[in-house]
Structure 1
């Protein structure tokens, strides 16, 4: 009975029809996305053989998140968020079909990989702020918001765990063509469920204003500003894990695409554990401590992974890195969405997206250049030192930030006794 009650609490927001449809549609679509991501990463290293080119291709896909996401945030506060999501899903499906055609004719080049990454990045930059804000729009019970945000993270991490494993199997047994085709088909589930959802009336949202309003909010309300800064630092510190896994799979552990899938799957498993843990929490109390602990764990995992050549040690450290990443990023998301005024939600979540996904291109480019000159191990070492340093700084500031955030959270009834 206790286990049943725990599971019911963990998935309580799925009781709502619209969120349940959205949840399962996203799981299917995101598994396909990760299958494509692994295939694209493997092909990029196979075609170029360069750690710097891996960083450049990752930069090409991620830089739109830094430059175009503000537009996505303003659109999310002005227009139907569901229509924005439907449009971007169709664009991403078209890119997947194009990649399948290129793979079939074996026409991949560095420029083709960069172009595909840019197209996906542009679509994602418009999509992500709307996706972050859309979750609160399809909830009928607002007390389930923190659980829904954690489950939204869970969809990503279930896909992150299953996708690389599926990609490894497909690449080994079939071909990269099948990976891209599978991703194209997976978008059908997302598009269908989005069309079946009935979000709350748009009159509940204010008309959008300039992005500067969101920036001003983060500057004046320190707890929100530090949450966004924490996500940005985390994103930079974990960029080596995102960018250089093909190097470790091929050159350090002497494997193929199945090894890449194993390494990325280990990180995804840690992320899944973190998302399940956060989904089972009933309040936002204590999330600040988890953010600090996540920084320390991320830093230690990165430093330990840097010069390790034993797969048996690498896998637990990848689990730790995935767990710490989601603890920090999802905890920040929950706290931020719990505090932000509704009329600023789209723009503030755009800034959140910029800080997380938009910082990845900066990390990818800098770490790629550093890896090219000094080796990938130095990049991991630098990321680890930065994460531990941020954990220490945030630990010292946490009491003051709690004091400022408490009245806002208490007014919304989000603090436990």
Structure 2
């Protein structure tokens, strides 16, 4: 009995036994904490400068729309060139944007147009980075048996940062101001850059010599399980957009707080996301993840409807934990299944489509929900989100058996069978 806990922890973090993935993991944790510090600081500054929920949506749209337009370029580059070199280029670019924000904040030049332009610049770099990062995991993971665990831990790095970043941002904003937040993010990229230089990725990785995004789309058209996974990620991204966009409104106007309150709200969502990532990391098989996806939509719908007209912080925090848990349950389960099913020569482009669905759908949701909030109030956006989530729960629960039947031949060919 005394050994049960260490064994469980060893199993949960089993992919960290590999040198390259371990270095990559810890480098990304540091860098992503800085990214979340900057993101929270920007959202707070945007609402402080403009006082407009619509401007929050517009700035979020500006940072996320490159994901929708340029992620295919990142996916094609990922399938044609060194993924480590491409990641290094994006890290240098994002560090430069963070330094620019620090200088502009120091000079007091944080006008709305500045926030929009810097959001676009960050979005362009991220559009090239995200699909490459997703595909790069398979290159530095030298034991294929750890694939699902590594993908879950890759999600864990994001969510550890999501939990720590808002809390750090709230403290930094309250104690030192926005200049320190942006400077901290710039410094955090050093960890990611050093870790990428230290990694020795696989030398013989299959690369495509031609084709484009069309081949990825053709794969989705011909293999419906992958298409449904991409669709589920897009729906989840849309449904959680109010939680991602309007927390400054709740922090300032409903809960009468400041940047520390914003950090608390976003940290609660991050706590739920972290819990979901840990549960998924502890799983031994990809079988059963389909049920996780539709249950995630059910939970998201309940959380959104409950949050809509709530004015009590006591109830808001557990609902935010539920929203974060549901989002990461859905998108990470889809990621694990997709990376398990997709052919290696299409991995970069298919993961570009995944990124477009996850991150790229956020600007659509942010802009649409920002307009709805402007005309009908922020609470209405949560009602819409909740009803859409429940609709997805109903559809996915009914279509799952057919999708599983179509996916089984691919899983069996890879030596994966239900336990």
Q: TM-score range by the shorter chain?
A: over 0.9
Contact 2:35/2:185, CA 8 A, preserved across alignment = yes
Give the aligned partner of residue 178 of structure 2. Answer: 176
Q: TM-score, normalised by structure 1?
A: 0.99
2:410 paired residue among 405, 408, 411: 408
Task: Summarize the Cα distance change of 1:19–1:208 in structure 2 as closer, same or farther, 3 Å threshold.
Answer: farther
Contact 1:150/1:278, CA 8 A, preserved across alignment = yes
User: Is there any run of 5+ residues in structure 2 with no aligned partner, and where?
Assistant: none
Give the aligned partner of residue 84 of structure 2. Answer: 82
TM-fit CA distance, 1:206: 3.4
TM-fit CA distance, 1:202: 4.5
Give the aligned partner of residue 307 of structure 2. Answer: 305
1:11 aligns to 2:25 (yes or no) = no
Give the aligned partner of residue 113 of structure 1. Answer: 115
TM-fit CA distance, 1:23: 0.0
Q: For 1:52-89, what per-residue CA distance to the aligned partner results, in whole angstroms no more than 9, with x for missing partners? A: 00000000000000000011110000000001100000
Distance 1:140 1:84 in 2: 20
Across the aligned residues of Structure 1 and Structure 2, the Cα RMSD in angstroms comes to 0.7
Q: State the 4+ residue runs in structure 1 displaced beyond 4 angstroms.
A: none
Q: For 1:100-154, what per-residue CA distance to the aligned partner results, in whole angstroms no more than 9, with x for missing partners? A: 0111111100100000100000000011111000000001100100000000000
TM-fit CA distance, 1:219: 1.1
TM-fit CA distance, 1:210: 1.1
* Correspondence list, 1:14-413, <5 A: 14-413=16-415
Distance 1:202 1:407 in 2: 27
Q: TM-score, normalised by structure 2?
A: 0.99
Question: Aligned pairs, how many?
Answer: 417
Distance 1:162 1:355 in 2: 25
TM-fit CA distance, 1:208: 4.8
2:4 paired residue among 2, 10, 13: 2
Distance 1:255 1:104 in 2: 24
Q: For 1:359-413, what per-residue CA distance to the aligned partner results, in whole angstroms no more than 9, with x for missing partners? A: 0000000000000000000001101100110110010100000100111112112
